[in-house]
Amino acid sequence: MIYLYYIGSFFLPFLVSMILVPLVKWNASRLGFVDMPAARKLHVSPVPLGGGLAVFLSVVLTSLAAIIFADFQIPRTIIGLFAGAFLLITVGFLDDIFELDYLTKLLGQVVSAMIFMAFIEQSLPLFSPIIFIVISVFWIVSLSNALNFLDNMDGLCGGITLISALAYGVLFLIKGMPMYAILSFAIAGAVLGFLKYNFTPASIFLGDAGSLFFGYSLACLSVVHISTGASMSIAGALGPIIILAYPAFDLIFVTFSRLKEGRKLYIGGKDHSSHRLNVLGVTKGNAVSIILLMNIFLVSLGILLYRFENSPLLTLGIVLIALIFSFFGAHLYKNFLFLREKITLVLSDLLSINLAFLIYFYIKSAGGNSGSDSMAADELLMALAWINAFWVVLYAVMGLYDIYFERPFKKQLVSLIKSVAAGLVIFLIANYDPELGMQISITFIVLFLLLLVFLNAVFRRLIFMVFKRRYFDGRNSLKAVVVCPAGVTPGNDSVRPFKKHYDLVGYLGNGIYKGLNKIGDIDDLTEILRNNKIARVIVDYGDGNYSDIANVFYSAYYMETLFLINDRSADNKRGFRIMPTISEEAYIISVKQRGFFATILKRLADFTFAGAALILTFPYSLYKILKARHKKIKAVAEAQIVAFGEREGKIKLDPSVAGSPYKRSWWALLSVLRGDICLYGATITTMEEYKTSLNNIPGYWKKFLVKPGLFGPGYSGKTTLDKFRLDLAYMEKTSTMGDFLMIIKSLIGFSPLKTEDLKDA
């Protein structure tokens, strides 16, 4: 009899949704509640919004029917889920109408998640209640945004929600939790009814209200599932999480790509995994189908992992899937260059990791270390699976799979040692107990890491010798193009050193090169690189040329392309990051001042420091606001500045009375929090100063290849030119640790806070 309720819980909301969606669509069109076309959107005509409201009402009506007619007792957790969902849908609905700022939306998401957590009936025994609430709120907010991000192609967000909700229904059936199974099937049925009108060409969209509700409800169901599994193993707990692996993957993918480009996370764009498939030549419909098939595969793995949680082979399989996903994401971002070479490096690293572990395990066992010789084969296999996953993911994050054949091997060895040192820190933190102390032998872990570094270095050295002979010594040369910016007098001498190492397919821009054909203009560089899988760009940026070539570097953000020059000493090369190669006639040139991982660390450090400082100074800030209101003057003002990428930005200022100039104060930390500026960087530039200096100071555009900062060496300069030169010197040698030390030094001396010429915008 109970199975009839499960079947009904799916088909009833399906039918209700089929009726409600057309009604909502008709009213939305009549009231002008539509999503207008825009540059970052794929549709070309207005489409009605409100599909999410119809889905939510269908689920609520089904739940009420289960209570009234089937005499089900609704758990208080589900009441909390609906209460939080109502608030979240309200916030999303208001955002669809008025386009709320991101802080208001984020606050609504956090409060909705906290409402749900206030009603939850159990917590995970592994964590204290406070830690469990914090992690759960973060997870719910993240997944809400993940599904919101995935609402970028017809049927994609709804399709993923349908598949995931059905999976959670199955899991709750296995666990014997009928009301949660009914709720999961109700969500799936209501979404299926909506999808009839949302697949290409969509006649109605979810809107933020719907996509946020989808992510929120799925995340809440996963929290319920994990929190009711007191005896569940780590592998079993991963099952419900793997069901939502694709939305989490897309969120991480977009976050990383936007951080790498210096863009704000909350400003949308065509940079999602679905868009990247589209850019690679896959049609929109096929891109959605591919992603949904991948989601079905992951959902099936999640159910199997929960059902057979004690199987080491299945756990190993899940780890391998995670590694494949990581590679898929990395190459989706980098246009699938050097895929074979990266697989070779990963296999060599896996060999090094396992050899190092087995030698370490043998030495530890031979030494009679307690318990080491009694480890069962399945336990050893499980340990190896997680160790392999940890190190490969860490290496990927630290950039060890970026293929630069031209870099001297000692530079690669330094990167390897840094990565292993980071792994050591993570291991020590993870194995430290405040009461019991260190839970792992430091001697043995150091032994393992020394073995790992040695084996990694040997295998990587051999592999890069093969790569060098194949790609750099003329046997199978990499493709390269020459770029000649405006204002350059081209000469064959500037490209001659590269001919023996690279296959020059042509040039872009000005001038004539003997033996090379013009294949396009500089504006065509992105398309040429993508279509021809070109790995190297030679920039003919001769002495005395200070023209703006930022667009040349930005053209390859989505590709693993290196830029090369033949001279590093000229004054016009100041401010660039220039690195030697194994050839004495070529240098790598880059506008990226720090690595990807370091960029993320810097942003997190800025956000954490600014947030903590604002919290600590909140009483005084409140006093200043109340005082300003009493005097009927502004408490906070804004000034226009030039931000990263020569975009317009704003900085918060503390206005003084009687017409005196605006001075930076702790209000500027609000701008750091938003990401408009950083704590330590180039000097802040007003719009007026920018317009004046751009024409008077050669190469002034380079200053905006980094974010402006509250602190920085440039603030000690007396003139605009002095500041600019100090900024360039900083850009050439910037590092995350160096920034931290300079901030401390600046705070002690308060020397950077000298600029008082910002005017109210």
Res. 143: pLDDT tops 80: yes
Q: Tell me the pLDDT tens digit for each residue of 373-385.
A: 455 666 677 777 7
Q: Can you give the pLDDT at residue 343?
A: 83
SS (H, E, C) 176-225: CCHHHHHHHHHHHHHHHHHHCCCCCCCCCCCHHHHHHHHHHHHHHHHHHH
Answer for the pair 710, 679: CB distance below 8 angstroms, yes or no.
yes
- Other residues' Cβ atoms within 10 Å of the Cβ of residue 121: 11
Is residue 712 helix, strand or coil?
coil
CA distances from 393 to 24, 161, 327, 330, 402 (A): 45, 28, 10, 11, 13
Directed axis angle between helix 234-243 and helix 284-307, to 10°? 160
DSSP 8-state assignment for residue 133: H
Q: Can you give the pLDDT at residue 663?
A: 47
At 155, the amino acid letter reads: G
Percent of the chain with pLDDT strictly greater than 90: 25
Q: What sign for the dihedral angle of Cα 28, 30, 31, 35?
A: positive
Whole-angstrom Cα distance, residue 303 to residue 239? Answer: 6
Answer for the pair 222, 244: CB distance below 8 angstroms, yes or no.
yes
Res. 283: pLDDT tops 50: yes
* Predicted confidence band of residue 759 (pLDDT cuts 50, 70, 90): very low
- Report which of 226, 251, 69, 81 is spatially closest to residue 160, judged by C-alpha positions: 251
* Predicted confidence band of residue 641 (pLDDT cuts 50, 70, 90): confident
Bridge-based pairing state of the strands 34-35 and 47-48? antiparallel
Cα distance between the two ends of the chain: 70
Long-range CB contacts (< 8 A, 24+ apart) of 166-172?
A: 166/299, 167/243, 167/299, 167/302, 167/303, 168/218, 168/221, 168/222, 168/225, 168/240, 168/243, 169/6, 170/303, 171/225, 171/239, 171/240, 171/243, 171/303, 171/306, 172/221, 172/225
Average pLDDT over residues 63-73: 74
Q: Can you give the pLDDT at residue 367?
A: 63
* Predicted confidence band of residue 261 (pLDDT cuts 50, 70, 90): low
DSSP 8-state assignment for residue 471: I
Whole-angstrom Cα distance, residue 706 to residue 685? Answer: 12
Whole-angstrom Cα distance, residue 409 to residue 535? Answer: 19
Whole-angstrom Cα distance, residue 685 to residue 755? Answer: 10
Res. 59: pLDDT tops 50: yes
DSSP notation for 627-665: HHHHTTS-S-EEEEEE-GGG-EEEEEEBPPSTTPPBB--
User: Buried (b) or exposed (e) across 145-157, using 16+ Cβ within 10 A?
Assistant: bbbbbbbbbbbbb
Q: Tell me the pLDDT tens digit for each residue of 698-734.
A: 999 999 888 898 888 888 888 889 999 999 988 887 7
DSSP notation for 660-703: PPBB--TTHHHHHHHTSSEEESBPP-BHHHHHHHHHHSTTGGGG
Q: Can you give the pLDDT at residue 336?
A: 63
Top-ranked range on mean pLDDT: pick from 176-190, 427-441, 564-578: 176-190
Bridge-based pairing state of the strands 437-438 and 432-433? antiparallel
Q: Tell me the pLDDT tens digit for each residue of 446-502.
A: 888 999 999 999 999 999 888 888 877 666 788 899 988 865 555 556 777 788 888
Q: Can you give the pLDDT at residue 462?
A: 93
Directed axis angle between helix 409-430 and helix 442-467, to 10°? 150
Q: Can you give the pLDDT at residue 123?
A: 66
Per the prediction, the chain carries an average pLDDT of 81
Dmax over CA atoms of the chain, in Å, equals: 86
Answer for the pair 172, 15: CB distance below 8 angstroms, yes or no.
no
